[in-house]
Chains A and B, each alone.
Chain A
Amino acid sequence: MNRPGWWRLDPCAPFALGPRTLPGRIWTASGCFGYGLHGHDIAAPDLATPYEGIGAVVTKTVTPQPRPGNPMPRLVELPFGAINSIGLENVGFAAFLRDVLPELEARGVPNVVSLAATRPAEFGTMAARLYEVGRGLRHWHGVELNLSCPNVAEGGHDFGSDPATVAACVAAARPHLPDRILVAKLTPNVAQIAPLAAAAAQAGCDAVAAINTVVGLDVDTASGRPVLPRRFGGYSGLAIQPIALAKVDEIVREVGVPVVGVGGIVDARDALKFFALGCVAVQVGTAQMRDPFAAARLAAELRR
C-alpha cells in the first residue's frame, strides 16, 4: 500500500496518552489475542514475533470471579464478519494477577488490562487492587473498561448504554490509576454514542475505545433456530467497520475526547481511515484471531 501524503505518524513511536507514554498506536483488541501470551511460539518469515510494532495488547476481559463462559457453539462465521458469544470466559481476577500479569511483564508485552464487573463500585475495587500489584510494572499501561455486560445492580441492563452508569464506572476506577491510562470501551448499540463518550470524559477517562461489538443474531435455516444457544451475540469484523467509523466520527466531532478506533480493522488501509478521522490509536480485533501477525503486519506497513 502506498502511504497517502497526509499520513505522517510513526505508529510504532511512543506517544503520550493521559498520564502515560504508550509504546505505539497499533493495539490488539480485547478478547482477540487472549491475554497476550499466545504469540511467543509463533514465527513467520517476515516477522520474528507477532508482537513486533504492537503498542499494546488489550487483554481478554477479566472479571472478579472466574467464568466458564457460554456453551458451544460460540462463534458464527459470516461472509464479512463473525458473531461471538464466548460469555466472558476467563480465569478470574485473582488468577490473572497471580499468573498472567507477571508473565506479561517478564515477556515484555505492553498491555492494557480489560476489566468487567457486575456493579460500578467493583471497577473501583479491581482497579485499586490491580494498581497495588502492578504499579511497579513497566509494561502494564492501564485499564480498559468493558462496559458491555449486564449490570446486576441496575436490573441487568448493559452498563454501557446509560451515560450516568458509564460515568459511575469510570469515576470508580479513575482515582486508583494515577499514572496509568483509563479507557472506556463504548457500545455502538445506542442511537447516540456521543453522550456516552462525554459522560466517560467528564468522569475522567483518558480515552474512549469505539466500538465494541454490534448486537447480532444468525438463524440456522435447517432447524429454524438461532445458531447461538443464547440467541444474540456480538457482531465483529470487516462488516462493522462503517458503523465503527460513523460512531468514531460522532465522538470526535461532538466530544473531543481521545478515541481509540476499533471495529473491522483488517489491514493498514482500514487503520488509516480511523486515523484520518482523528483516532489516537487503533485496535485490531477479529483479524487478529485469523492471523496472529495481523496487527504486527499492519504496523509494519504503516511505518514504511
Chain B
Amino acid sequence: MSKAQPTSDRDGDAREGAEPRRAGAFDVRVVIAALIGFYGIVLIIMGLVADTAQARAKTGDVNANLWAGLGMAVVALAFVVWARLRPVIIEPPSDSTDS
C-alpha cells in the first residue's frame, strides 16, 4: 500500500487543497492496482519459497499461490495501463492541467 501514496500524488490533486472540487480525482483504479499488485507479489513469493507438501495436498498438486499471484499481477498491470491511457477527470477545472 506504500505504492498508493506516490501515485495519488502523481495525479497532483491531493496537494491542491484550495480547490475542493478538483481534489476528487484520486483514481480508484490506481488504488486497486496497488492493493491487488501487492497481493500478487506476496503470493508469487509465497509460491516460490513456501511451496510445501502440505499446501500441495490442499490444492491438488498445483502451485496455487504462484498462479494466483501471477494472475493478480497481470490484473494490477492492466489497471495501471488503463488509468494511464484514460485518466478520469472529475469536475474538470477551467484550465485542463491533466491533459
**Binding partners A and B:** no
Listed in ascending order, the chain B residues whose CB lies under 8 Å from chain A are: none
Listed in ascending order, the chain A residues whose CB lies under 8 Å from chain B are: none
